A and B are shown apart, each in its own frame.
Chain A
Amino acid sequence: MEKKTKIHAEDDRHDLIITREFDLPVELLFKAYVEPEIVAQWMGTKVVKLENKKHGGWEFETSDANGNVVFKANGAIHDFVPNEKIVRTFEMDNINFAPQLEFLEFEKITDETSKLTMQIIYKSVEHRMTQLKLPFAQGLNMAHNKLEEIVTNLK
């Protein structure tokens, strides 16, 4: 079976492209990126700020079960065209890691299906490498636990 989410990362480049096709109309796919309470659900984070407009800003904050903040990220929104594209930066707080630039393109395939293409540009080849390794190095187990938690709550 073909994988739904694909990562295209060429050697020695400092960008990568994530693509994914959804069984959703493009309007609903886009909505998942702009409604704070929906973003919070699928990203598993608290949405502190989300200004969906050119020159807007965003801020996410994730806490563990005990309420300790474990992850904070923020960025600026550079371009915002409903159901078409979002251009934004992404930066993690308190971590010495350069911000990245993200181009999100939303495409209609049929009335009921859509495609997301996300290009992420890093400061350097090394930055991209570090980012790629993160889920493997530390996140794998955490993400797994988190997922189990969410799935259990859904029951």
Chain B
Amino acid sequence: MIALYLQSNNCAMEIRRDVFQAIADPTRRAILSLVAVQAMTPGTIAENFNSSRQTISKHIQILSECELLHQTQSGREIYYHLNPEKMKEIDQFIEPFRKMWDERFNKLEAIMKNYKK
């Protein structure tokens, strides 16, 4: 229970940031475009990449935590689907714009702190 709570909380707390971080990675974007076409098992997803199965499942985990992927169970297999609702959130393109400035300003702040007496 606690583990589950922590895991979901992890993304819930930083959901807005994480959705964009999730799609900033090229492998994760590729995973999203794969499952957009059809639901896939982790194994089938991994077959499309040169990376290790472990690396891919880490990416899948991040995408799931941010609710970009849904999973359904069919027999012994888990299938991942694209969550269209969450993808809509990405359409709110103002967030990347804000984030770009935020990162810039964070850098400015970090640099200028060195000038403090």
Contact = CB atoms under 8 A, between A and B. Distances in A.
Contacts of B26: 141
CB-CB nearest 8 A-B residue pairs: A5-B102, A42-B108, A136-B93, A136-B96, A42-B107, A135-B96, A135-B100, A28-B112
B103 A143 contact: yes
Contact of B101 (A18, A28, A140): A18
Interface stretch (A19-27, A58-66, A77-85): A19-27
Contact of A139 (B100, B107, B112): B100
Contacts, number: 80
Interface residues of B, number: 26
B22 to A, nearest CB: 11
B115 A132 contact: no
Say whether chain B's binding surface is mostly helix, strand, loop, or mixed. helix
A41 B97 contact: no
A7 B116 CA distance: 28
A103 to B, nearest CB: 15
A125 interface: no
Given A43-B104, A140-B24, A141-B26, A7 B97 contact: yes
Contact of A24 (B96, B100, B109): B109
B116 to A, nearest CB: 7
Interface in A1-52: 3-7, 9, 18, 20, 22-25, 28-29, 31-32, 38, 41-43
B97 A23 contact: no
B111 interface: yes
Contacts of B105: 4-5, 20, 22, 116
